[in-house]
Each structure stands twice: as C-alpha cells, then as structure tokens.
Structure 1
Amino acid sequence: MVITAAALAVSALPASAGAASPDGTSGNPRSVGALPQIDATARAGARAVPLSPARRRQLLDRAADAAPDTARSLGLGSHETLIPKNVVEDADGTVHTRYDRTYAGLPVLGGDLVVHQQGGSRTVTYAAQGELTLGTTTAEVPAATARKSALSKASAEGTRKADAHDAPRRVVWMMGGRPTLAWETVVTGVQQDGSPSERHVVTDAASGTVLASAEHVKSAQGNSLHGGRVTIGSTPQADGTYALIDPERGGHRTLDSSVDSRGVLFTDDDDVWGDGTPSDPQTAAVDAAYGARMTWDFFKDRFGRNGIADDGRGSTSRVHYEQSRGVPLANANWQDGCFCMSYGDGADGQHPVTSLDIAAHEMTHGVTSATAGLGDFGESPGLNEAISDMMAAAVEFYADNPHDVPDYMVAELDDLHGDGKPIRYMDRPSKAGVSAVGYAPLDYWTPEARWKEAHMVAGIGDHFFYLLAEGSGQKTINGVDYESPTYDKLPVAGIGRSDAAEVVYRALTVYMTSTTDYAGARTATLQAAADLYGSQSDAYEAVANAWAGVNVGNRFVNHIAADPLPTEPVATGQPVSRRIRASSTRPGPLTYSARKLPLGLSVDRATGLITGTPRKAGDYPSSVVVTDAAGDTRTFSFTWTALESGGHFFVNPTRYVIPQWGVAESPLVYKGKPGKAPSDLKVTVDLDHGFSNAMLIDLIAPDGTVVPVKPWGPWVLTPELHETYTVDASAVTKTGTWTLRVTDATPGLYDLDPGHLQRWSLTF
C-alpha cells in the first residue's frame, strides 16, 4: 500500500488479483532479451548507487536523528518510534529509508514502512495501514503460559526437540492490520528433514490464542551438484597453510561441520581444494565457496550490492552438516541468526547439497531478510521463496558455467524426490507434480495461495519471472525446451533475464515490505519498472502482462488495461451504477462508449460510469469500447443478463465487497402495491466468506426500521452461505428502498480475504 505525501510517486495500476477479460493480443511484442525501451516518464537516475560503509552509516544516522520528526510528519502516535533498518540511495539523490516500528517500546510485527524522499517530495510504503493504538501493554496471559503454548504449537507443527531458551517477548502483532498485544516465543529444535528449526510463535497476550506460527530457517531442497574446476578465494596462514576464507568477499568462511556442528575452518597445504568427488570432504567445501563467490559477485556487479547485508560482511558456509549426530542433513538452509548457510550431504550421506542455484537461493533469503524482510504469514513466505528462485536462476546465467548449464529449473541435478526431476520448473511449475512432501507448485495465483505451503506458492512467482524474462510459448534456451502457458491464454513478451532481475531487485529493496503478497509484488514491480524504464514503456506493460499471465492483476492490450468488468446480472426496476475502471500507458484521458447494454442503461463517455434502470429482462450481447488519447482502442464483449424483478419478487444481483471487519449495504427498490409488509417476508441471501456464518445480517426497511435477519454463528467453517430467512416485517410499509446490511463479525485475530454479497432478494 502506497500513501502519497507529495508528488514523487509514480503511477501504478491497482494490484487486484483477477485477470482482465481476454479479448485480444498484446500490442508491440518485443523479442526476448531485447533492451527495454526507456520512455520519457522513466525517472532519470532511478537506479541505486553503491554506498560506501561510511555513506551508508551517515544516511542511517541521519535517519535515526530525524526519526521523531519523521514519525510525527507521518501522523504516527506519541507511543510510536521509528528505527532505521536499511537505506537505498538512487543516482538522482532519492533516498529510500526502511524503518522498523515500535509501540511503547514494543516491536511491531508487520509495522515496517519505507520512506521514499526526493528533496521536499515524499511517498511512504506501509506494511500495514491503520491506527496503531492499544488499550494496554500489560499482558493478561503470563509469559510462562505463552511459552508452554508455543512449545506445544511448535511440536504440533513438526519441530522435534523443541525448546525455548529465551523468554517470550511482548510485541504488537500488526500483520492483519489490527494491532494486538502479543507474546513472541522463539522455539528452537530440528525440522522433519533434519534442518535446524527456529520457529516463531505469536500468542495473543489477552486470550492466549496462537495467532501465528512460522519457521524462520529458510530451506532449499537438493542433493548434489558440482561446478567442475572453479576459482575460489583462500587466505594464506602464518604456518604456511591456506584457509578457506575469501578475502575479496567480506572474509566469507567455509567450515566443516562433520565433527562439530559449529564448524571447523577448512585448511589445506597446497591451496588445491577437493578432487571433484563426494569422497573428498573438500569437494563440498569448494562448491559452497564457489556458490558464495558467484552470488556475491552477481549482486555486486549487477546491483552494486556489497554483500548480503550490503555492509561488506561475508557470510559463513557450513558443509557436511548433520541433522543429528551420525544422521546426515538431506537439505540446505539459511539462518539469519548465524548469518550462515548449512549444507547437508543428502539422505544417504553421499550427495552433498551444494549446487550453485541452492547456494544463490539460500543467500538471497539473506538479502530479502536484510531488505524487505518478507514475513512468515499469508503469501509472503511463498513470494520469499520465489524471489530466491528468481535470483538463483539469474546467478546461474551470470556464472555461465559449462558444467552447470544455466536454466530455469530449480535443483535440477539433485534428484531430491528420487524421480530425476527438478523440484520446480519456472516455465510451468506444475510439471514437477506432487512432491515427496505432498505438494505441487502452483502455475497461477488462486485465493487459496495464502494458506498453502510456501514452496508450492513460490511457483506463482517463478512462473511470473520466467514470463517476464523470456516470454510465453515454446522456445529452446541452452538446449533446454520450454513451453510456458498463460492464465488468460494471451501471449507475453519478455524483456530479458537481466532486466527482469533488475526490476525484481529494485522492487524487493525499495518497495516491498514484510507483508507484501503477490498483488503487492505486482504493484512494487510496476513501480520499479516505471522508475527504471518509464510508465509508458514496453517494459512497464511487460511487467503487468507477466503478472496477468499468472492471474495477478490486469493485462495491457493496445496499451489499455481495465479491471474485470462489473457485469454480474442487473434487475429490472432496480437502479444501476457501475464504473468501468481502465488505464493506459499513453498520456491523456480515456473515453468510453458502449453498444447493446440492457435497455435503460447508458455509459458516461468521460467517466465510464454505467447508470440507469433496466426496463426489460433478457440477455444482451453487450460491449464496451475504451479509447485512449492516442487513439488506441480496446473492446470488451460480454453477455449482460437483466433479471425480472417486480410483482411479489424483487432482487438485487449486484455484487458487493464485504470489507474485513466492515459493513456492506445493498439497496433494493420496491415499486409494487402499497401497504404493510407481510409477517412472513422471505429474505434470500447468497454470499461468500471464509467464515460466512460469522456474518451478521440485518434488513433495513424504507422507514429506517432495522429487522434482524441472521445472528452471529454458529462458529463453523462455512465458505458460502445460501439461505432463505423468514422475518416479521408487518410493522413497516412495503413501498420504498429496502437495504440489506451485512456486517463482518469475524474475530479480529483472523486475517481473511474480504467476502462478497453476491445477490439477495425479497419475496412479499
């Protein structure tokens, strides 16, 4: 969510998650790998510049000194404090400062924000918007109770040997947009695959309910991959030996964890490491050191990033890591706590999990943690995994190692599942099928993505990146055949993998926050593309179209995009007011025209607002034409149904959003015989919501009298409600406008998608 404080923000389409109606082909297709055209709207100097440690420290110190004034200017409360976390400076002097937030000294989880400042102009990207106030910061539930609950939850989620060495800390939980005082307990142990476990469990400090539980050790999956003969960094020691410390990359260290899990530094007499076989313990160390070197160089050369945290500090790699004494780790993982990667030797202890794409994937988790801090809830974990896959592919192409031919497959040589296949295909993720851990990557976004396993949800982002880099359809790259379909069956033109990575990196480091989901990622990447290439560029349209290709947001055709048209049925005798919302990458206003709308409706040429009262029922073969100032047009054709409404039966089939913890009201006009309403008035309601039974439904009579229709409950998972209720309305008159009011009474601890009142009717 971007709140504009001044005129700096670039325009971006709303990040809705529905695809526009397919009705044509994309304009001006571009060849794969061509340099994106930069138009006049691109912000000159939008690319980030490398920061010296002194300059970075200066900017962070300046932000810290100004933090109280910044908080006040943003309208934050007196109990809120901003703490600078990271900073990005563009060539034109624009500074993007990322802040964590506290409330009365308590960390606010999901309260982070980014301030984009250019001179006197400023915009702000919030992880969560909404007033941050608490009635009290005193916990009703003791810390010991929260710790016990967290240990139980972690064990239930599969953490073995669970323990919580540190006491729970009080926090403010803001992930759902509603602040809640909570306890955060860090439970350590071992995951089911043998990886270290660091599970964060958040517990409501008033009720003791577990609000969230998420694993913080980010793991990739693989068994073995070698890069052949490679150059790695080492450092001479005083005794004449060499240590596997890379002096040119922040002193990155590679350790042997086969004896001590903390790791022992690899040393060698002749500075020739490994023999290329798993039987030599140094071979895995070579692969790990090489992966760290290539990943460091990629981020440095392409983006000017000085190490994972952009502070010049090298990380640590631990190879031959065991899940427990004598039991090999069949995985690899990144941990923020030790700023390190741990690589196992596969399930059989003979296949080190040290491939280049795994190394790059893991270290990108570190970059994400140091920047956007993509969280552990909703779609953010899947997006986190996807960005690691994107950058892993980019690193492979950057390294261009003939022993590991660059491709768009994840862990393609590791045979993790014993079927000889990669764990994810970026061109069509579902090709991987159902894995040994019970999931198949998603090709396209669905509303259920927020609830599914992170690596499964990563398929959406992987597919987007492939489409953005290479485009849709069939092609062969480095001898590998790809065939990438799109959700709306329309083609996507790629912009090349280097520029695709540039867009994603800028979006990650400048615009994404801890709560960014795929809709938010679309907005962030469009902003990044507008910065780099301009909002009128082919690259900007390609970003939108690649997202539309995975069912996130709207597609540009002939430079025009539109939200899904509100073409659900209308009803005779019921007033209609529906707006066509469209945009163009060409400057100037849009105009609208329509043909064969339901009789009685018309469209405003300047605003796209369709109004009127349908006079005749039937199916109408309608179309709406949107024209931009450059003369480009886009036609949307559809069948629009007008239902009969009158006599004893009156219906409003217009779809209304039920906001989370909000109210939806739908009017219905009665124009029949006057008199009192019956004592057995039938109210039929059709709605959808994650907890439909938690909706309160009232009928408001023409004179304002409120007639209860449905109380709260029962408390069961019911995603849809289709019911007819009988109410006594004999005390009020029939004639006039009736209103159905639906109130979302879901408890605040649930972060659900908004519901929809699909239609309702009255039978007198």
Structure 2
Amino acid sequence: MTNTSRTTTGSTTNGASTGGGSPYASRPFRPGRIAVLAAATVAALFVSALPASAAPAPTGDGSPSAATEAARQRLVAAEPRPGARSVGLSPAQRAKSLRTAAGTGPATARALGLGDQEKLLPKDVVKDADGTVHTRYERTYAGLPVLGGDLVVPARPGDRTPTVSRTTDASVAVPTTTATVPAAAARKTALATAKADGTTETAADGAPRRVVWAEDGAATLAWESVVNGVREDGTPSELHVVTDARSGKKLAEFDRVHTGVGHGQFNGKVQVGSVRNGDVFELTDPQGGNHSTYDLDNTNSSGSGALVTDADDVWGDGTVADRQTAAVDAAYGARKTYDFYHDRFGRDGIAGDGIGAYSRVHYGTQYVNAFWSDACFCMTYGDGAGDANPLTELDVAAHEMSHGVTSVTADLIYSGESGGLNEGTSDIMAAAVEFFADNPSDVPDYTVGELIDINGDGTPLRYMDQPSKDGVSQDYWTPGTASLDPHYSSGVANHFFYLLAEGSGTKSVEGVAYDSPTYDDLPVPGIGLHNAINVWYRALTLYMTSGTDYADARTATLQAAADLFGRSSEVYETVGDTWAAVNVGERFVDHIAFATPAAQEAAVGQPASFRVTATTSRASGLTYEATDLPAGLTLDAATGLITGIPEEAGAHTPTITARTADSSLSRTFSWTVIPSGGDFFVNPGNVPIPDADPAGAESPLIVTGRDGNAPSDLQVTVDIVHTWRGDLAIDLVGPDGTVVRRLKAPDSSSADDVHETYTVDASALPADGTWKLRVTDVYARDTGYIDSWKLTF
C-alpha cells in the first residue's frame, strides 16, 4: 500500500500480552484526554539490560524462555516520562505557533549556520508537556525549494545545544541557479520515465519547477517535473521526476499516489457519524473533523463524487448489494483512525489542523486497490474483483491515511530505504489502529490482507512477524534493501516493530499464532504494543526526515526511547537490540553497542586514518583504548580516531576497548600494512568521494628516497569504486599543489568503477614530496570511493 506525498509523545498504557484481550481495551480511551490517560506517577526506570552475550536461548519449541518472558513483563510495565508526552494543540494554537516559528526563522537559520541565501519555512510544530517545542522546517535556497533540506529543531528549556534532525548535513549551495538544460528537456525526460514505468494517459502537470535536490547529501540544481497518468491496474499516478538542470541526468523519481491491497469488506454493525440536511441525512461525521464519504459511481473521476446520503440514518445492510455498505466501512475506518491519533497522541486530524480527510468509495470498475492522495488529501477505495469485494476494511483505511500523517511530518521519500520506512509506517499504524478499535468482526493482528484472498490460497498479503513468508519481503536489512520496491523493503520496519512490540519466538496474540525469528538467533523480549507505538510515532514525527534510512531510523527510535524512558533504561537498550535482530546496528553488551571494525589496509610511509565507533546507554559516555596497533599509529581515547603513518609492513590484529565508568567491551580486527617505497608507492586507504561536490576528494601519497625529478613516463595506477564512472574527473596533483595532468574528464559512460594505469610526463617536478590524487564527482546521485592508487617510477 502507498501514499501521494512529496518529499524528519505520548504517554502509554500497559497491556500488550501474549494471551487474549486487546492491549488497547485494557484501559479505555476517553476522547479529549491526551495520550491515553497519562499516569500520575511513573514506574521506576530499569537501568540494567540483558547483555547479548548472556541472552537466554529460546526453549526447544521456539517459545520465549522464562528469563525472556520476565524481561518482557518488566518492559511492558514501563511507563514513559510524563514530560515527554505531546500536548495537544488546537488548530488556532498550532497556527499561532507556526506564525511564531516563521518570525524566528531567520534567527534559527543563523544559529544553525545556514548560508545567507537559505531560508527556513515552518511546516509543523509539536509541543511536549515539559515545554519542549519541536519545529519542523522546509528550506529554500535563493528562493528555490530544497528537496531534502528539511530539518527538525527542538527548543528545550535550558538546552543551548539542541540535537537537530536533518536529511543532509552537507552545505546547501549551488554554484548557479541558472539551468543549462531547458525545462522542456526535463519535461520530456519525465514523460519518458512515466511511460517506461507502465503509466498510460500521461500528461505533464504544468511546467517543471527549478529546485535544489539535496536528498543524496550534496546540493544540485535540478528540475522537478510532475506527470499525471494511470497505472496498469487503473490507479492514478502523480509521478515526480527530478533531473539535473546542468546535465539532464535523472536524479530520482517517486510517486505521490500510494496504493495498496486491502483486507476485507465488513466491520459489522458499527456507529457512523452523520448530519441532517433538510429531509436527508449526510454521511458527514462532525466528531471526526467533519469527515465526509462520497460515491464515485464506479468512475475514475478525480473529483469528489456524490456525497452519500440516506433518508432514515440507517446505512447499508452489510452486503455489497447495498452501495452504502462500502461507505459505512470507509466512514468507520476514517473515524477510528481519527480517534486513534487524537486519543493516543493528541493529534487533531491527519494534518493536525482539526479537519478530517474525506473518503471516496466505488472507484473504477473491478479496481482491486485503495489509495491515499496528498493532492486531494483523501482516501479512495475500489470495489475489488468482480466489483463484489470493496477494499474498505479498517486497517486499509488506517494504512492509507497514515501515509497522510507521514507526508505532513517526516515526509519520507517513497523510494529507497526511506520508501520502505514510509510503507512500513503505514502497516505499523494500521496494526495499532486495529488493536485500538478491537472490533470482533476484524480481530486485531500483525498481518496484512488476511481477510481477502488476494493470493488465491487463503494466505495474507504480508506478515509482520516474518515478512519473508510472502515470498518477496525482507526479514532483515541487507545492502540491497534500498533497491527494492517499498512494499518489500518495508519488511525490515514491519519485522522490527513486531519484535519490539511482541518479542521473538512462538506466541499467540488475540488468538493468532506467530513465530518471529531474529537475524542473530538471539531472543528479544518486546516492550508491548503501547510502548512500541509511542516510540515509533515520536521518532516519525520528531526525528525522521525525508531522507531517513534504516540506520537513521535506529538513531531516531533510540532518541525517542531516551525521551520517553531515559537513556539508561532497559527499554532504550531493547530498542537497540531489536534493531540488531533485523541486522541494523549492534546489540548492547554491558551497556555498550560496538560493531567489530572492518578489516583495514594501509601502506608503510603513507598517512592512515580510521575511526572506530561505539555507543552506550550510560551517562558517563565512552573512552577508547587500543593494543597491537601497527607501529606509527595512535588512538585518540576520547573520539576513537586512529591516525598516523605506519612504519613497517606486516599483519596486525589490534584490539579496541570501549569503556564506560563501570563496564567495557572489546573488539579485535585485522589491519594489514603493505610495503611502499623503492620503485612504487601506494596508498590503499579508502577515501569517500563526496557526491556532486566541487571540492572533491584527495588521497595523499608521500614519496621519499627518490633523487632528482620524476620520470617522463610516471605510471599512475588508479582503482576507484563508483556506480557511474562518467561522473568523475580525476587529476594528479604534484607536491607543489599544481595539477600535473587531468587523468580522466567527465564523460557519458554509465559503467561502474575506474581501474586504469595512466602514463604521465612528470619530469618537471621533483620526485620526493606529497603527491595527491584528486577525484571530483561532478553530477549528483551516484557515489563511490577511492579504493587505492599508486605511483610507479
């Protein structure tokens, strides 16, 4: 399922259990009370965690061990800090806060060190009970929208150095705002892209607009084109295509209409909101932000359709023969989703503006899908196969409308890993709404599509406890996750959330059986659905931005857990351990998460640099120690940065120890030092090449012991790993800083990598000194690094 948006709280109750009973029903919701009746007192925070090295193994039948279950019960019982819950803002208060943020935007931009041509435009504001105000900004550069320039700035009382969440830390600046590629060429590329994707009836929505594209880190002047059309299954498409305004190269594409397959058709006998207008009742819910439901009469209209009305305020009969039945389910789903966000988080409507998104039923003919569109800020449902199975079940509504919440908060770009997080967020929120509603006609569960036989074999469309059971989704993160369709890369998020809520192993929740594995075969206990959804929502709305990937999501959820439960809490470490269970980051062992460093290679006489990184839940922070480093290298105890010049060749196995005030964790890795000198000098150290950055990357090579000048046939061997070699300019820079020769100019080659030996006349320069290989990536999107280079005399 998907959304139509474009591109960085709540207290809880307890009760998610492995037995019967809805975790939301255990303490009833009362409209108007924010964040589900925050407790007057907070349970003691746990400060000890279950070290991974001592984690109890599951029992032989796959069920959690007694120790894991005991840990789960402690975690489920944990209460968030009252000060971290959201304070509900009325539409008027929210508007006033946004006006205030707009007035202070220039001062905030200066405080963040933004350039003179950069401006901040407030998009959203969230206030915590302790007085912290989180303001989400979009950014412009020289008046142009910056896609990927979004950031969230928290203003905590007494905090002079707030932690800012942003998509890119790179400078947002371009050499010129004048495009060399005409808008017409960008439009042509966009239309061709849409057609290649299988979109028909395509038409460009106005002229392309100039933007600064910064989603990939470096800023690039670009054109953003919008193409409207219809996909092969009849779903509307609003495809955004971003092209480099200097080269014409396509940088990105993402669709703003998010579609999906639903779960079923009936919610049983339910209450729906309506109003009387003369002699008829209208399906408009005044308690749900005046949400209205419309009938499209099986057309593909882009309009709202006809408002659903009735003479006696008794709607539908529970069968598809009555067209109102689908409207009832849609209205019910909209109201339950509205109530969930309001009662759990104090959110007044999908956009936080007090207005209920509207719904459209009976879209198209035999349309087996449902979708959310930011353009109309509305939900649309098809009638399914044979027009006899409307896709109006509760979690379809919650899933799709949650795309709307994502669009007005983190605005996760619907491609790459951020796309998977966008799609996964909607599955996560849909599951939470199901448990919140606790409707016996649709038993709450952690599966998608279980009530409609989409696959033809009675199986669900997706499984949160083990996503790979659908045959395509991922259980665990891999380097290939970013290349998958968001519906399948969402498996990592879904699996993480299920494990965080319920824990690993076999169990039954609401009578539904689950069996959830972990990447490292170690158990995780789960913190309960209430606590898990609080962590995810806070991370989404306060710390994720449009370009957040899975590693960033780990950081965001850890920060959310620290806010809610304390950095030294057991919940905090469980969040980190659960990410490790889906192969994102490391588990905490003795309160330290420390990945084994990758094997390193350096050369005698050449500068080397490598930073080891670890994190801790302890307030004391970390210091580092090292043994058996290659001679000539030293470790900075405070930062973990290893620097120096290796003195002799050999194979080494250094051990790095990260320490807190009361614990330590060591990791051993390999570091090979190869000879360098005589007739050839080599630097094998990896150097990242910044994307579309005129400064480029430089790798130094120190030449010593060579008398006289360099030869006229100096051999320069270059090994570069890069996904689009045509982007690269490669220069050999002499010891005096002058460019001896351009070894490679940018070209049209789309091939990967550069592995070449060039012959250079360097006879005008002394051989001894520091030579440099300078590599510049002149276009955005594709990235890489200098793997190794050498000079042969």
Q: Distance in 1 between matches of 2:247 and 2:653?
A: 55
Q: Distance in 2 between matches of 1:146 and 1:692?
A: 23
Q: What residue is the counterpart of 1:247 in the other structure?
A: 286
Q: Distance in 2 between matches of 1:100 and 1:297?
A: 28
Cα pair distance change 1:680/1:412, threshold 3 Å: farther
Residue identity in the other structure for 1:625: T
For residue 418 of structure 1, give the secondary structure of its aligned residue in structure 2: coil
Q: What residue is the counterpart of 1:460 in the other structure?
A: 492
Superposition deviation, residue 60 in structure 1 = 2.1
Cα pair distance change 1:121/1:601, threshold 3 Å: closer
Cα pair distance change 1:359/1:627, threshold 3 Å: same
Superposition deviation, residue 334 in structure 1 = 0.5
| Aligned counterpart in structure 1 of residue 388 of structure 2, from 336, 350, 373 | 350
Q: Distance in 1 between matches of 2:99 and 2:203?
A: 37
Which structure 1 segments of 5+ residues have no match? 3-21, 434-439
Residue identity in the other structure for 1:113: L
1:506 and 2:544 aligned: no
Within a 5 Å distance, the mapping from 1:169-248 to structure 2 comes to 169-204=209-244, 210-222=250-262, 224-239=264-279, 241-248=280-287
Q: How many residues align?
A: 726
1:534 and 2:566 aligned: yes
Cα pair distance change 1:592/1:259, threshold 3 Å: closer
Deviation by residue 1:674-697 (Cα, 9 ceiling, x = unmatched): 565555544443331212454344
Cα pair distance change 1:350/1:35, threshold 3 Å: same
1:665 and 2:707 aligned: no
Greater CA drift, 533-542 or 726-735 = 726-735
For residue 314 of structure 1, give the secondary structure of its aligned residue in structure 2: coil
The question of whether the paired residues in 1 share the 8 Å contact of 2:539 and 2:557 is answered with: yes
Within a 5 Å distance, the mapping from 1:53-68 to structure 2 comes to 53-68=91-106
Q: Distance in 2 between matches of 1:614 and 1:181?
A: 42
The question of whether the paired residues in 2 share the 8 Å contact of 1:189 and 1:196 is answered with: yes
Cα pair distance change 1:697/1:200, threshold 3 Å: closer
Superposition deviation, residue 332 in structure 1 = 0.4
The question of whether the paired residues in 1 share the 8 Å contact of 2:733 and 2:774 is answered with: no
Superposition deviation, residue 390 in structure 1 = 1.1
| Aligned counterpart in structure 1 of residue 782 of structure 2, from 748, 752, 758 | 752
Superposition deviation, residue 431 in structure 1 = 2.1
Please provide the CA RMSD for this pair: 3.5
For residue 154 of structure 2, give the secondary structure of its aligned residue in structure 1: strand
The question of whether the paired residues in 2 share the 8 Å contact of 1:38 and 1:534 is answered with: no
Q: What residue is the counterpart of 1:390 in the other structure?
A: 428
Superposition deviation, residue 392 in structure 1 = 1.0
TM-score, normalized by length of structure 1?
0.85
Superposition deviation, residue 366 in structure 1 = 0.9
The question of whether the paired residues in 1 share the 8 Å contact of 2:415 and 2:485 is answered with: no
Cα pair distance change 1:462/1:314, threshold 3 Å: same
Within a 5 Å distance, the mapping from 1:76-155 to structure 2 comes to 76=114, 79-119=117-157, 121=159, 123=162, 124-133=164-173, 146-155=186-195
Residue identity in the other structure for 2:344: R
Q: Distance in 2 between matches of 1:628 and 1:162?
A: 59
Deviation by residue 1:49-94 (Cα, 9 ceiling, x = unmatched): 1112232222123223334444454455555443332211111111
Within a 5 Å distance, the mapping from 1:661-740 to structure 2 comes to 661=693, 662-670=695-703, 677-692=710-725, 694-700=727-733, 706-708=739-741, 710-729=743-762, 732=765, 734-735=767-768, 738-740=770-772
Superposition deviation, residue 519 in structure 1 = 2.9
Deviation by residue 1:125-169 (Cα, 9 ceiling, x = unmatched): 334445555666566666566545543433333322122454544
Q: What residue is the counterpart of 2:72 in the other structure?
A: 32
Q: What residue is the counterpart of 2:338 in the other structure?
A: 296
1:562 and 2:602 aligned: no
For residue 328 of structure 1, give the secondary structure of its aligned residue in structure 2: coil
Residue identity in the other structure for 1:655: N
Q: What residue is the counterpart of 1:15 in the other structure?
A: none
Greater CA drift, 620-629 or 242-251 = 620-629
The question of whether the paired residues in 1 share the 8 Å contact of 2:649 and 2:672 is answered with: yes
Q: What residue is the counterpart of 1:584 in the other structure?
A: 616
Superposition deviation, residue 564 in structure 1 = 4.8
Deviation by residue 1:459-485 (Cα, 9 ceiling, x = unmatched): 222222223223334444334443434
Superposition deviation, residue 302 in structure 1 = 1.2
Q: Distance in 1 between matches of 2:266 and 2:526?
A: 30
Superposition deviation, residue 113 in structure 1 = 2.9
Q: What residue is the counterpart of 2:297 in the other structure?
A: 258
Q: Distance in 2 between matches of 1:164 and 1:575?
A: 53
For residue 32 of structure 1, give the secondary structure of its aligned residue in structure 2: helix
Q: Distance in 2 between matches of 1:168 and 1:656?
A: 36
Superposition deviation, residue 620 in structure 1 = 4.3
TM-score, normalized by length of structure 2?
0.82
1:407 and 2:436 aligned: no
Cα pair distance change 1:474/1:71, threshold 3 Å: same
Residue identity in the other structure for 1:718: A
Q: What residue is the counterpart of 1:633 in the other structure?
A: 664
Which structure 2 segments of 5+ residues have no match? 1-7, 9-50, 57-66
Q: What residue is the counterpart of 1:654 in the other structure?
A: 685
Q: Distance in 1 between matches of 2:506 and 2:714?
A: 59
Superposition deviation, residue 287 in structure 1 = 2.0
For residue 71 of structure 2, give the secondary structure of its aligned residue in structure 1: coil
Cα pair distance change 1:34/1:498, threshold 3 Å: farther
The question of whether the paired residues in 1 share the 8 Å contact of 2:265 and 2:326 is answered with: no
Q: Distance in 2 between matches of 1:597 and 1:163?
A: 62
Q: What residue is the counterpart of 2:32 in the other structure?
A: none
Superposition deviation, residue 669 in structure 1 = 4.7
The question of whether the paired residues in 2 share the 8 Å contact of 1:333 and 1:342 is answered with: yes
Superposition deviation, residue 673 in structure 1 = 6.8
Q: Distance in 1 between matches of 2:640 and 2:205?
A: 60
Deviation by residue 1:191-227 (Cα, 9 ceiling, x = unmatched): 2221122223345556655544321111122363433
For residue 313 of structure 1, give the secondary structure of its aligned residue in structure 2: coil
Superposition deviation, residue 320 in structure 1 = 1.5
| Aligned counterpart in structure 2 of residue 328 of structure 1, from 366, 369, 375 | 366
Residue identity in the other structure for 1:256: D
Q: Distance in 1 between matches of 2:246 and 2:606?
A: 47
For residue 589 of structure 2, give the secondary structure of its aligned residue in structure 1: coil
Residue identity in the other structure for 2:289: G
Cα pair distance change 1:162/1:696, threshold 3 Å: closer
Superposition deviation, residue 367 in structure 1 = 0.9
Deviation by residue 1:240-260 (Cα, 9 ceiling, x = unmatched): x54322221112222222256
Report the identity percentage.
55
Cα pair distance change 1:604/1:518, threshold 3 Å: closer
Within a 5 Å distance, the mapping from 1:13-28 to structure 2 comes to 24=53
Cα pair distance change 1:566/1:739, threshold 3 Å: farther
